[in-house]
Amino acid sequence: MGRPPCCDKIGVKKGPWTPEEDIILVSYIQEHGPGNWRAVPANTGLLRCSKSCRLRWTNYLRPGIKRGNFTEHEEKMIIHLQALLGNRWAAIASYLPQRTDNDIKNYWNTHLKKKLKKHQGHGHDHSQDGRSAASHESISKGQWERRLQTDIQMAKKALCEALSIDKSTSDAVAPAEAKPASMTLNQSYTKPVLQSSAYASSAENIERLLQNWTRKSPKSATTVPSEAATQTYSENNRSVLTGSSPSEGTVSAMTPEGLDSLLSFNSTNSDVSQQSVSVDEAANFRPDENVFFQAAENKPSLEGSGQMPLSFLEKWLLDDAGALQVQDDQDLMDMSLGETADLF
DNA sequence: AATTTGCTCAACCGCCTAGTT
DNA sequence: CAACTAGGCGGTTGAGCAAAT
């Protein structure tokens, strides 16, 4: 007799979230921060289970999420990382701070997997999910696991170094990767002290859901970047930490007026999918707040002494970011699989 | 215009892990 | 140390939409 599922309770609503529910959830989290999900339905009156609330926030309402339009660089990162880490989507997502694990998982299953399969048809004998069939067969499970551990350590170190390079060279790599650490998934969960900056851009999500509300097509609303993206985080911090968030410990009834206050700090000159890093953000960027370090925190088993030539993985993982010319699938697969398998 | 087929992605389900009692 | 619980994760599903017939 296991414990009953959390969503078995009578009266728990399932299915798609309504804009009203979204607003309530965002409003609550802006005030209290994410975490303690069990308290969310209880305190907001939402007829949702805690898991559903968490999922909704993580995958949809969380600030800084970029939706759709995976860049070439992101695609390659995913393929590389998938080859290294397997289907550990959360781990992969931690290297792509603007993407959710669910999004990456979906993208992998619907696009990349297909690409790989198609590529297999061209004669490469690669197994599903990006792992080399040859290596799969030739390497015993234990060997594979050991190698995987080594791979992870090396990738981790290389990314660590590469990201610090990224930082110094600012936008030379994909702009998406230069986002401030405050917009990361893990931080939302594990670094409450920084949460406020992340909540600020919830306004864009609210606007997005309002677009959903007015339009009928959720698809267009989710793929079209919001006009109202974030201002600098320092400004957002001010807006959220000072007057614009509801006070008095209750979730405000989100009237249009209430929404105005939430939306008031939006600017209109940037794009969610291309959020540029402001001077403030750059100044505030600290390696220890970087998503990579967050990821490392969450993967203690990956800590280790793995040393490797930076230039090597740098090239492997990140250099191709500069090469924005579209490469054909052949290159993509060669990069992801051939090199991954061969290099280690 | 109506129907079928395929695709996308938000959300659910169940298992696992870490923290707490 | 065992039992319990919440949070987190990956696999899977199915509703909604678009393209094809």
- pLDDT class of A76 with cuts at 50, 70, 90: confident
Determine the nucleotide nearest to A6 by Cα–C1' distance: C6
Q: Is the pLDDT of residue A166 over 60?
A: no
| Confidence (pLDDT) at A66 | 83
- Which of A45-54, A103-112, A153-162 has the lowest average pLDDT? A153-162
- pLDDT class of A211 with cuts at 50, 70, 90: low
Q: Is the pLDDT of residue A269 over 60?
A: no
Determine the nucleotide nearest to A2 by Cα–C1' distance: C4
Determine the nucleotide nearest to A55 by Cα–C1' distance: B11
What residues contact residue A159 under an 8 Å CB cut-off, 6+ apart?
A95, A292, A313, A317, A318
In which residue are the tokens 């728990």 written?
A12
Q: State, as a whole number of angstroms, the distance between the CA of A247 and the C1' of C5.
A: 30
Q: State, as a whole number of angstroms, the distance between the CA of A101 and the C1' of C17.
A: 23
Determine the nucleotide nearest to A67 by Cα–C1' distance: B9
Q: What angle do CA A80, A84, A90 make, to 5 degrees?
A: 90
Q: Is the shortest CB-to-strand distance from A109 to strand B under 7 Å?
A: yes
The count of other CB atoms within 10 Å of the CB of residue A137 is: 10
Q: State, as a whole number of angstroms, the distance between the CA of A342 and the C1' of B1.
A: 56
- Which of A19-33, A34-48, A103-117, A150-164 has the lowest average pLDDT? A150-164
Within A 212-231, residues with CB less than 7 Å from strand B: 218-219, 222-223
Nucleotides on strand B lying under 7 Å from protein C-beta: 7-15
